[in-house]
């Protein structure tokens, strides 16, 4: 099949786009309003976009409390969502009144951040403390410059918290942490030791005209 995205003439019950670009990390974003109201919400349009400097992006559909709070305060925290915390993560997606803390709604403990005001999820294995760089309105399409309901949030990661329990041999153990990611529709996937693997990068010759590859797990060297 083939369909044009501007008309979505795919004939399926649900738009398949989200299922094709998957899995996607879950950004479990905590913020504070200008009145110190705490908000926590999961975002599946979330990812790292740079490591030097470290930056992340969140795409927010419609004007939610997360976006408003980030624009007002310039700060947010992204905690990692895990299989053990999956139900709490799901509960925190409920669209409740601004005065309600999703930490309380999902029965989650919070912990103070070091460099920003919003708290992190205490039981999450890691969290990224972020400061806003820009909010970019997303247009409706190539031929339509009018703003859609979506906004792209870009932030600098200014601090990183890691629970030492999930460090092994100087590396963060994603499988032990049990990270989850969003698939399409209401589907998720779970990172486990059984479904993770590493690969060596190709070695390029000095003249840049050829490369060789040693099959097998990563030897610990970046190339």
Average pLDDT over residues 24-32: 97
Asked if residue 56 lies in contact with residue 155, where contact means CB atoms within 8 angstroms, the answer is: yes
Give the chain's count of helices (H) and strands (E): 5, 16
Average pLDDT over residues 26-42: 96
The domain locations on the chain are 23-195
Contacts of 138 (CB under 8 A, 6+ apart): 59, 147, 148, 150, 151, 152
**What average pLDDT does the structure give for the chain?**
94
What is the reported pLDDT for 205?
Answer: 94
Residues 86-125 have pLDDT tens digits of: 999 999 999 999 889 999 999 999 999 999 999 999 999 9
What is the reported pLDDT for 204?
Answer: 92
- b (16+ CB within 10 A) / e for 34-43: eeeebbbbbb
| CATH class given for the domain over 23-195 | mainly beta
Asked if residue 49 lies in contact with residue 110, where contact means CB atoms within 8 angstroms, the answer is: no
What is the reported pLDDT for 191?
Answer: 95
Which tokens belong to 158? 């200014």
What is the reported pLDDT for 6?
Answer: 83
What is the reported pLDDT for 216?
Answer: 81
Provide the pLDDT confidence category of residue 201 given band limits of 50, 70 and 90: confident
What is the reported pLDDT for 214?
Answer: 85
C-alpha–C-alpha distance, residues 43 and 23, integer Å: 13
Contacts of 13 (CB under 8 A, 6+ apart): none
What is the reported pLDDT for 207?
Answer: 95
What is the reported pLDDT for 154?
Answer: 98
Q: Which residue has the higher pLDDT, 11 or 115?
A: 115
What's the pTM value of the predicted model, to 2 decimals?
0.92
* Backbone φ, ψ for residue 18 (5° rounding): -65, -30
Provide the pLDDT confidence category of residue 217 given band limits of 50, 70 and 90: confident
Range of lowest pLDDT (59-73, 138-152, 183-197, 206-220) = 138-152
pLDDT value at 143 more than 80: no
pLDDT value at 223 more than 90: no
Average pLDDT over residues 61-71: 92
């Amino acid at each position: 099949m083939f369909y044009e995205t501007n008309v979505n003439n795919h004939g399926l019950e649900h738009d398949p786009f989200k299922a094709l670009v998957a899995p996607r990390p879950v950004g479990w974003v905590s913020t504070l309003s200008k009145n110190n109201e705490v908000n926590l919400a999961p975002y599946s349009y979330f990812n790292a976009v740079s490591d030097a400097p470290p930056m992340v992006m969140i795409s927010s559909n419609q004007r939610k409390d997360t976006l408003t709070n980030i624009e007002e305060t310039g700060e947010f925290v992204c905690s990692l969502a895990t299989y053990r915390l999956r139900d709490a993560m799901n509960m925190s997606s409920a669209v409740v009144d601004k005065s309600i803390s999703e930490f309380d709604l999902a029965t989650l403990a919070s912990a103070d951040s070091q460099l920003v005001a919003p708290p992190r999820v205490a039981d999450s294995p890691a969290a990224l403390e972020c400061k806003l760089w820009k909010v970019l309105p997303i247009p409706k399409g190539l031929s339509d410059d009018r703003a859609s309901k979506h906004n792209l949030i870009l932030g600098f990661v200014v601090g990183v918290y890691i629970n030492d329990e999930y460090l092994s041999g100087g590396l963060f153990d994603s499988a032990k942490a049990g990270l989850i990611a969003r698939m399409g529709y209401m589907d998720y996937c779970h990172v486990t030791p059984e479904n993770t693997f590493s690969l060596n990068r190709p070695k390029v010759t000095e003249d840049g005209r050829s490369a060789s590859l040693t099959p097998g797990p990563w030897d610990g060297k970046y190339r």
